[in-house]
Chains A and B, each alone.
Chain A
């Protein structure tokens, strides 16, 4: 009798876990609340300059391709769990997700490549031929599984919570995530206000991370790497772009961090300060105010300001914890049961993968997901 495992969440951790389980002969139910697979990472851009910068965005695409081609993985889009009962096995009630999707956003965040699940509204223009109507997605069903892997990921920090930074108020202030989408879709760095190339760009680090105010007392670990890799990409594409980085502490980037940082330090202006205020000037230029070492108020004008938003616990974590019967730590992330096993949830038969336990980059999420599969198989008594 084939074992069956439920993977909750179709981001990079969920996809990796699903594919790895299937490779080991397990039947997989992959449940995703939104109407596309790939999670947040599928919208990330390749950041290669004249060489790969090891961000791992390409791996998401590849894993997605593997999963959608795999007949052993049942994919439920726009579906969420409503109830989980454990009696030896897990009896799981699935329902059509009530998560509201902004349709234009859906097309944007969507995996558009390889063999994707196209989803769109019927009235949407430029709809690909094999598009699926969003209203037809989602199922109400009962399934029975032997184990659960929780891979529901994170929520990006919402910069509207920090009104002084003017996100959504001023057009040329975008988030790191917006920047990822822009580079992926256009392969160019443009000012949203007029579509012209941005000549002077600022990255502001630690937006929503390392903050008592927002109860986010952790470093998000991914923002220095993504911002600096994007800064490096911007300089590669248009070398005379003036790039600034406002930071608290620069964190390490990848395996060869010393070489990477010394290279980027020679190309980009680093300012060890957190901007106090951001305003919009004439011609949609963004004015960034900060204090220098002598406590003088200074400002600098930019065509484009990128807020390096951090990783916060998925907004659904409490609800999920209640449904599955798990506990959430005081920071809002799920905790593993044992220090010597970062994949074990507080309930037997439930395993943790990816950013549900805290900030992780793509590569570490894959690593965590594979370990979670290993632990799941051990729990199931092996498949040999």
Chain B
């Protein structure tokens, strides 16, 4: 048993909509919150104010008033140490560094909105607008009667329902002031609650929506703006002489995300948002226990889902921290100090940030460990053992599978409990026809499958071995299946070199709900072996 001290203070990073609502929800659960803002003053992104004006002011006032929420402006995170329940965070506040301990961290960095002037070769001016400029005009109820406004969405990237709602609201606002309004877009993004009705409302008000596959040409001639565009629906070139061009605000991930991801040791996606593109992290989880992500930090989300994320993050914080204080947990992983040579391989490969070192001792936190066993398989000294899936346990399963099997060919499948193992269960239950000579060894993750196991299986009489893994991008430990892939690839090369045949060892990717898929793939393998 290990004693932990759980701190109940919660760090929320980001002073935008997602951060404000996260702080609001966590404080409602009764935990003290530090709300960190890089800039001077928290506030909502304009892409949301269009959606829920009026609701926001109360929340903002309450967050500012709440004694449980400490708003820290002009601050940056410099370093993060420790694990869930006790993250030690070094924060730079207006040039001064302080170290504070938090039980949990919520990354809720706001969007950066960038008007796409450049995409059309434009620079902002008195008739080249961003959406913010239009909103200023609308707030001042300026005289725009009879003027022609053309909104342009992105043609290089993809627009999104959040931007589209804002554009439609602005367009309707202008129509109400008797301006003439066109929206030129590649695809109308309608996939959000109430948006289709808003599109219809805009059309009924007389907003023209023109769809084009190709980017419109914008030519400036003095104060005249000539726009030419090929309308996809009617297939004709249209020319509009407009008074004002308005470009979409591209919704971008926060430029501080990458640095934050590396400080927090959490994964990010191709677009610079935090949280890997992996369904296993839904809704607010990251690869590290006690670090959650919300709304604008995760992707482009309608306000509705920002709210759900904030609620869920607060809910998970509560589940993790409880009442704080002392907590006893069982040791789930151990390290043999006599074998360990402190090469730090385990530290480098752990996808959950559960491994650290203090002086010359490697420390694996059982609280932060997810039990994937990648470290145990990668350790060159075999110094690490999982309590539940020790090498002995797995080899025992292996020997049983081999000794009770008379069938030939014999194939041993090391099956991940999250995917292939479940698929074989389903196949057995339904009688889908897995070959009798296919025997299963259950492993916690494909990343736990040591090369030793594969070789041992072959030496003891298996005709081939398979690692049944999750699909890439679906691994609970992010890279377990990739590690399995490397190992099998190396083994194949080796087998080829010594003339044993590389088809003795394979990785098969499968999902837990795809028994038939797995059966087909295993049968194919058997046919190959029998030939």
Contacts and interface: CB of A to CB of B under 8 A. Distances in A.
Interface string A105-117: 0000000111010
B393 interface: no
**Shortest beta-carbon contacts, A-B, top 9:** A293-B235, A113-B426, A46-B511, A52-B474, A219-B190, A367-B283, A48-B471, A52-B473, A374-B315
Contacts of A45: 513-514
Contact of A342 (B234, B308, B509): B308
18 contacts: A45-B513, A51-B472, A52-B279, A52-B473, A54-B278, A61-B512, A112-B426, A113-B430, A128-B431, A219-B191, A221-B191, A249-B211, A255-B269, A272-B233, A367-B282, A367-B283, A370-B312, A373-B315
A259 interface: yes
Q: Which of A113, A221, A224, A363 has the most CB of B within 10 A?
A: A113
Question: Which among B59, B279, B516 has the greatest number of chain A C-beta atoms within 10 A?
Answer: B279
Nearest to B514: A46
Nearest to B509: A48
B189 A249 contact: yes
Interface of A: 23-24, 42, 44-46, 48, 50-52, 54-62, 65, 112-114, 116, 128, 184-187, 210, 217-219, 221, 224, 248-252, 254-259, 261, 272, 292-294, 339-343, 357-359, 363-364, 366-368, 370-371, 373-375, 378, 384
Task: State the majority secondary structure of interface residues on A.
Answer: loop
A209 B314 CA distance: 35
B308 A210 contact: no
A112 B430 contact: yes
Given A113-B422, A210-B196, A364-B305, A254 B277 contact: yes
B322 interface: yes
B195 interface: yes
Given A54-B277, A293-B234, 20 more contacts: A45-B513, A46-B513, A48-B471, A58-B419, A112-B430, A113-B422, A113-B423, A113-B513, A114-B422, A187-B514, A218-B195, A293-B233, A293-B235, A364-B305, A367-B283, A370-B283, A371-B308, A371-B311, A371-B312, A384-B322
A150 to B, nearest CB: 16
B462 to A, nearest CB: 26
A308 B515 CA distance: 25
Contacts of A259: 270
A258 B234 contact: no
B232 interface: yes
Contacts of B145: none
Interface residues of B, number: 75
Contacts of B381: none
B520 interface: yes
Contacts of B273: 255
A328 B508 CA distance: 47
Contact of B309 (A58, A112, A367, A375): A367
A257 B512 contact: no
Contacts of B516: 184-187
A123 B399 CA distance: 42
A62 B431 CA distance: 20
B271 A256 contact: yes
Contacts of B282: 56, 59, 363, 366-367
B193 A358 contact: yes
A342 B196 contact: no
B473 A24 contact: no
Contacts of A60: 513
Contacts of A342: 304, 307-308
Nearest to B284: A367
A261 B196 CA distance: 22
A48 to B, nearest CB: 4
Nearest to B474: A52
Interface in B177-198: 187-197
B222 interface: no
Given A58-B511, A221-B192, A249-B188, A366 B283 contact: yes
A253 B365 CA distance: 37
Contacts of A357: 193
Contacts of A248: 188
Interface in B152-187: 157-158, 160-161, 187
